Chains A and B, each alone.
Chain A
Amino acid sequence: MEQQFVNALILGSIYTLFALGLTLSWGVLNVLNLAHGALFMLGGLLAWVIAKEHPISLVVLLPLTMLCCGVAAVALDAFVFQPIRRRYEEHGSAEMAMLIASLGAAAIPLTIAVQLTDDQVQTIPDAVFPVQSWTVLGLHITNVGVMVIAASLTLSLLLALFVNRSKHGHALRALAFDPETCGLVGISASRLAALTMFVSGALAGGAGLLLALHLGSVQAHMGDSLLLKAFAVIILGGVGSIGGGVAAAFLLALVETVMVVYVDADLKDMVAFALIIVLLLWRPQGLFARAAWERA
């Protein structure tokens, strides 16, 4: 049982890392970015492409991957989302258009990935980060698993501090609440949007690389199954609530792990989403939704 708790901790950390960036873009910019899974996959793919020619250490590869994915997300915002926002007078009307556009945008990195990998599973060379398995107090864990847990908790804390305590963080929250007034008081919405997307993309890319190391494989569709779970985590936790998202991620991971190991893996998705529905019926705003993040 204790081993499964460790497994759930790692799985929950993966969901957290994936969902963090999405909760930021959705909570601040009202962008339901369906290309987030593609950015996540791009992290793993870029790491594989770089490492197979130049097997550099993870210490360099991780920030490099995050930087590239952050830039890709900024480009997505600049060429896709911002033009759509400008065309629509009412922000709410732009949401559906941005949703559809993000779906289309996701196809581009996916197609590139399929071509580069021949749609086969690839592995990141051992030289980048040799995976070691440890047994501590009878429990098995790998160095990658420890890194995934540490990264998710650290990044969640840093992001929460940034949003709640920093000047830019306050500006982000103001932007989420009332974009028009932000402009009147000198807050540059477009710069903040770019910053938000950069952080969102960087988080996705980093998560993609870490997951590739954890699973021992990179493949073109690795982000697909996580996207739905990420949305579930965000809605359950409360849109824009980082703490809520983290709690929801671990709750979902725990339910899934218990179902897979002790009940029936076939039922895991059904039970997990049924639980989400029940919780949302009880608290429609999510477990930890904050009034300041509610969309107008």
Chain B
Amino acid sequence: MKGSRRRSFRSLVGLAAVTALVAAGCGGDDEASTATAAGGSSSGGSGLSGETIKLQVIGDLTGVAGGTGSEMLKGIEFAVEEANADSEFGNKIELTVADTASQQPKAVNEMSKAVRSDAHAVIFGNLGENARAMAPIAGKAGLPLILNQSGQPGLVESGDHIFRVTGLQSKFQDVEVEYLKQKGVKTIGFVYATDNQIVVEMAEKEWPRLMKEAGMTAGSKFKVKFTDTDFSAIASKLAKENPDAIYGGLIGTQFPTLLKQLRQNGWDGELIGTMGMAYGVVENLEPKEATNLSYAADFNAATTVPRGKEFAEAFKAKTGKEANLFNAEGYDSVQFLKEGVKRAKELSREGLKAGLTEVTKTGYDSVMGKLTFEGRSAVAPGVVVAYTDGKVSIPVTGD
């Protein structure tokens, strides 16, 4: 009995020793594979030349945000193709694309996969709630996350690996107010949806501040929901009050109805929209309806910014379609990545994060003009996109 106990004990010790050796070996392999996944080379900044940047795009490509997400992807793909053909850039970008279907669980799943992959960075667009769910996962793995749209407050501040290259709408509403001032607008009515924080912030904080500075006064304010479809009652009341302009903080599908019902009630002032008008709204209006209509955006194909013009022309030549702001934002997010690569000292997630952080300190020339940063969140100069008889113009461009 004693002998068998000793044999059992030795077996256990032997088993433990073997297990420890195997674990050490596996741990070593894990470290190696992690180093490989992160790209593991450690040359100086210019020594990244010739390296392949593994870029993962996670987009809301289908589902409720699929329209704008797929447009963002077109801009990214255009930029990647351009970068890979550009010998001056010195690096290749290997692109992988995943779709969230505009659903949070899927977004989280795709980010988890990205974290386990050898991706150097992720570009995501557009829903803020999806970005918020994905950010901590990227943060734990030190994976730089470059956001399009996703304007939720506090999101970028939640981790130093998060960068937003789409300027917040609230930061360039001053160009629209300047345009209205030029048109002699004195009073502005408001119709805005309360189920979007960005819209509420613009309607309740940013616009009142800008209007006060410009000597304008606010008329009646009406709160609605994104699910509201009929604005007859509001349109009647506002038309009767007859402000010079009306701010419509609505989603794209609501604009045509508000516009038509205001005009049917005899109001012909300036209707101001949000960037939601930039995709699939105005182009479906009759030309005579698309007049006295404007919104502030970060980009429009009619831009006068030199880099923006160049991009718009090249994009149209390649795709046959006018570039919209979502194409431009996708394109710019790759430009931001390229700038980060140029300043990175090593091709790893950490190295790239450091490079991107450097870019945020100086800003860079984008298709939207000079892009500066507040923290890690871009500030775009902004342009006013105005429509008269269906024709678009850019009457005001921000500094």
Contact = CB atoms under 8 A, between A and B. Distances in A.
A120 B284 contact: yes
B236 A264 contact: no
B253 A140 contact: no
Contacts of A10: 232
A82 interface: no
Contact of A123 (B228, B233, B256): B256
Contact of B237 (A118, A133, A261): A261
Contact of B222 (A123, A224, A265): A265
B264 A133 contact: yes
B230 A215 contact: yes
Interface centre among B230, B256, B280 (most CB of A within 10 A): B230
B224 A265 contact: yes
A152 interface: no
Interface string A1-22: 0011001101100100000000
Contact of B252 (A120, A123, A215): A120
A5 to B, nearest CB: 10
A260 B259 CA distance: 18
Interface string B247-289: 0000011011101110111100000000000011100111000
Given A3-B236, A7-B233, A121-B252, A216 B257 contact: yes
Nearest to A259: B233
Contacts of A118: 67, 280
Contacts of B393: none
Contacts of B229: 215, 222, 225-226
Q: Chain B contact residues: over half helix, strand or loop, or mixed?
A: helix
B203 interface: no
Contacts of B225: 266
A257 interface: yes
Contacts of A126: 286
B194 interface: yes
Interface in B209-258: 222-225, 227-230, 232-234, 236-237, 239-240, 252-253, 255-257
B141 interface: no
Contact of A120 (B223, B236, B266, B279): B279
Given A120-B67, A261-B234, A215 B240 contact: no
Interface in A199-255: 214-217, 219, 221-222, 224-226
Interface in A120-165: 120-123, 126, 131, 133, 135, 140, 142
B238 to A, nearest CB: 10
Given A3-B236, A133-B266, A142-B264, A121 B256 contact: yes
B234 A219 contact: no
Contacts of B237: 4, 261
A211 B191 CA distance: 21
A192 to B, nearest CB: 34
A178 interface: no
- Give the size category of A's interface with B: 35 or more
B222 A120 contact: no
A216 B66 contact: no
A225 B227 contact: yes
B386 to A, nearest CB: 20
A180 interface: no
B256 A120 contact: no
B253 A217 contact: yes
B264 A3 contact: no
B64 interface: yes
Given A121-B280, A121-B281, A222-B229, A216 B266 contact: no
Nearest to B228: A225
A216 B232 CA distance: 12
Contact of A133 (B67, B259, B265): B265
A240 B146 CA distance: 56
Nearest to A260: B233
Interface string A97-135: 000000000000000000000111111001000010101
Contacts of B255: 121
A135 B239 CA distance: 13
A120 B286 contact: no
Contacts of B64: 119
Given A118-B67, A133-B264, A123 B285 contact: yes
Contacts of A140: 236, 239, 264-266
B280 A120 contact: yes
A260 B225 CA distance: 11
B126 to A, nearest CB: 14
Nearest to A215: B257
Contacts of A216: 256-257, 259-261
Contacts of B259: 216
Nearest to A123: B284
Nearest to B237: A261
B66 A119 contact: yes
Interface in A260-276: 260-261, 264-266
B275 to A, nearest CB: 15
B264 A11 contact: no
A223 B261 CA distance: 19
A119 B230 CA distance: 19
Given A7-B236, A121-B281, 20 more contacts: A7-B232, A120-B280, A123-B284, A131-B264, A133-B265, A140-B266, A215-B229, A216-B257, A217-B253, A219-B253, A221-B253, A222-B229, A224-B227, A225-B227, A225-B228, A225-B229, A226-B229, A261-B234, A265-B224, A266-B223
Interface of A: 3-4, 7-8, 10-11, 14, 118-123, 126, 131, 133, 135, 140, 142, 214-217, 219, 221-222, 224-226, 257, 260-261, 264-266
30 contacts: A4-B233, A4-B237, A11-B232, A118-B280, A120-B67, A120-B252, A121-B252, A121-B280, A122-B284, A123-B286, A131-B260, A133-B263, A133-B266, A140-B236, A140-B265, A215-B229, A215-B256, A215-B257, A216-B261, A217-B257, A219-B253, A225-B228, A260-B222, A260-B233, A260-B234, A261-B237, A265-B222, A265-B223, A265-B224, A265-B234
